[in-house]
A and B are shown apart, each in its own frame.
Chain A
Amino acid sequence: MFAIYKRELKAYFISPIGYLFVGNFLAVSGLLFSICTLQRQESSSVADYFQYLIYAFAILLPLLTMKSLSEERRTKSEQLLMTSPVSVTGIIVGKYLAALSVFGAVLLANSLNFVLLEKFGNANGTLILSNLICLFFIGALFLAVGIFFSSLTEDTLVSAITSMDVIFVMLAVNFLSDISISWVKKIVDFISVLARYEPFTYGILDVTSIIYYVSLAAVFLFFAVRVYERRRWA
């Protein structure tokens, strides 16, 4: 698994994908940061920045995972992985962790923005940290969604677009919480990625939400493993 992780990490920066992801992430994040905080000069605007960044994830994160499995399938290099003494779970998790590492590193680099914020105003350190932690886990979930859709097709574009669509739906579910029917609201609050993000906007580190994101990510990775296992039997 570690060999796959290492190769995948390297592969991001052999091809332009890794650089495109890092560049676009920092540019979009920088733009949002500038609009939401530096230009507004309002104390509550950091929360807006994080919320918009989550929406931006829907487009940015599938860039990292679109090739992960579909490209291997298209070029038939997956035959090497599948005939090596490594389990399918090892292959999927290795690739997932590589994508997660790139995302994590960029998110960390991106947090340098807050050093700037601290210089020009009063930044709430606890609030920012809890938001960053939550964003990492939301990103981890979206990457797992991307890995799953990458396992379904050998077309990288199809993989990227379907991942984006599903992530958008996962985010859009939150709009249903405005419905006044109480049981609908209860369900939406339970399953909505954004509803579970809310405690973090107040600086609360909500462990149940983190467990929810991690569990859902594990479910998508499990589905990806099942897709591969099923293809062997098909």
Chain B
Amino acid sequence: MIEFRNVYKDYGQNHALKGISFKVEKGDILGFLGPNGAGKSTALNILTGYLSATAGEAFVDGVNIFEHPIEAKKMIGFLPEQPPLYPDMRVSEYLNFVYDLKGCTLPKKQHLSEICDVVKISHVYDRLIKNLSKGYKQRVGIAQALIGSPKVLVFDEPTVGLDPKQIIEIRNLVKLLGKDHTIILSSHILPEVQQVCSKVVVINEGLIVANESIETLAEAVEGTRRHIAKICGPEAEVMKLLGSIPAIRSADVIGKQDANSISYLIESDERIDARIPLFGALAAKGYALIGLEGVEMSLEDVFVRLVSNKEKRQSAKRR
């Protein structure tokens, strides 16, 4: 349904995209994952026709977006990072305008009413957009993307700036929409992509570092449990002790907090809780455990894990 072939984008001397290629099949919800400034928005802006690429090709349902932009745009509903709203318009006026702008031919009243029901904005239909909360503005932004019932929906960081309740609502909405549309969802939040998407493309510094199913991502993320432990005791002795605990897979010194304690990053298998044997072993030796906290994997960690998994699989295939 969507294909990027070796797409480059330069902003002067800055190379925002360095030849990215990926495919999205019909009915997929693709997570476009990467840290801020990785090139996610640039790629999505190219896909939706807002920007042109320096080189490469992009297709939507077989239509080249650069050669036939109008045809391609008819198949895409886009919610940019900042919803493209006119604050002085009422929701009803705005949606009617977008309906006309897209040259939609579906029965107007019924179509807009269905969209408002799906995104739950029927009760704010006659309100001024500038008076709506951020969450509702985001919903109105999603509603405009749905007008014309496009085959492809592109959401650029749809949950940024929302409160936790609104984030859950928007994620559920995206999942619901995924039943009838092919969706690309960009995000820098790992759990969001895990919850909502079936496939993930990880982008970093303008390059695709992984193009995996969500299961592979889950393996990389969920296989390991991590803790930071602050322990009072001589570093060499403590490291030796940590190495002797079978539940602990690896331990590294990550810094000295003060004169007495040292912080260690401890990794263990996800199925084993290493905290109990750790506490027992330290108590037996008389070293004080003065702090212990769980750590989520960072995006960078996931990149490294995904890339190393990929390399392992490729070398196994070669053998």
Q: Which residues of A contact B (CB under 8 A)?
A: 2-4, 6-7, 10-11, 14-15, 75-87, 232-234
A83→B45 CA distance, assembly (Å): 9
Tell me if B74 is interfacial: C-beta within 8 Å of chain A: yes
Whose C-beta in chain B lies nearest to the C-beta of A6? B100
Interface pairs (21), CB distance under 8 Å: A2-B100, A3-B101, A14-B89, A76-B84, A77-B85, A78-B84, A79-B82, A79-B84, A80-B84, A80-B101, A80-B144, A81-B84, A83-B48, A83-B78, A83-B80, A84-B98, A85-B71, A85-B73, A86-B101, A232-B51, A233-B52
A85→B50 CA distance, assembly (Å): 11
Q: Given that A6-B100, A83-B50, A85-B102 are contacting pairs, would A76 and B82 also be in contact in the complex, using a CB cutoff of 8 Å? A: yes
Q: Which residues of B contact A (CB under 8 A)?
A: 11-12, 45, 48-52, 70-71, 73-74, 76, 78, 80, 82, 84-89, 93, 97-98, 100-103, 144
Determine how close the nearest CB of chain A comes to the CB of B2; give it in whole angstroms.
15
Residue B49 contacts which of A15, A77, A83 (CB distance < 8 angstroms)? Answer: A83
Whose C-beta in chain A lies nearest to the C-beta of B73? A85
Q: Contact at A79–B50, with CB atoms within 8 Å?
A: yes
Whose C-beta in chain B lies nearest to the C-beta of A80? B84
Whose C-beta in chain B lies nearest to the C-beta of A87? B70
Whose C-beta in chain B lies nearest to the C-beta of A230? B52
Whose C-beta in chain A lies nearest to the C-beta of B99? A3
Determine how close the nearest CB of chain A comes to the CB of B106; give it in whole angstroms.
15
Chain B residues near A75 (CB-CB < 8 A): 84, 86-87
Chain A residues near B85 (CB-CB < 8 A): 77
A2→B49 CA distance, assembly (Å): 21
Chain A residues near B48 (CB-CB < 8 A): 83
Q: A76-B80, A80-B144, A83-B49 are in contact. List 8 more A-B contacts (CB 8 A).
A: A2-B100, A7-B101, A10-B93, A76-B84, A77-B86, A79-B80, A81-B101, A87-B70
A179→B88 CA distance, assembly (Å): 51
Whose C-beta in chain A lies nearest to the C-beta of B48? A83
Chain A residues near B50 (CB-CB < 8 A): 79, 82-83, 232
Chain B residues near A11 (CB-CB < 8 A): 86, 88
Chain B residues near A79 (CB-CB < 8 A): 45, 50, 78, 80, 82, 84
Whose C-beta in chain B lies nearest to the C-beta of A81? B101
A11→B90 CA distance, assembly (Å): 12
Whose C-beta in chain B lies nearest to the C-beta of A91? B101
A139→B15 CA distance, assembly (Å): 44
Whose C-beta in chain A lies nearest to the C-beta of B80? A79
Q: Contact at B101–A77, with CB atoms within 8 Å?
A: no
Chain A residues near B97 (CB-CB < 8 A): 3, 6-7
Whose C-beta in chain A lies nearest to the C-beta of B78? A83
Q: Contact at B98–A80, with CB atoms within 8 Å?
A: yes
A189→B74 CA distance, assembly (Å): 49
Whose C-beta in chain B lies nearest to the C-beta of A229? B52
Chain A residues near B82 (CB-CB < 8 A): 76, 79
Whose C-beta in chain A lies nearest to the C-beta of B53? A233
Q: Contact at A234–B49, with CB atoms within 8 Å?
A: no
Q: Given that A14-B89, A76-B82 are contacting pairs, would A82 and B100 also be in contact in the complex, using a CB cutoff of 8 Å? A: no
Whose C-beta in chain A lies nearest to the C-beta of B88? A14
A85→B117 CA distance, assembly (Å): 25
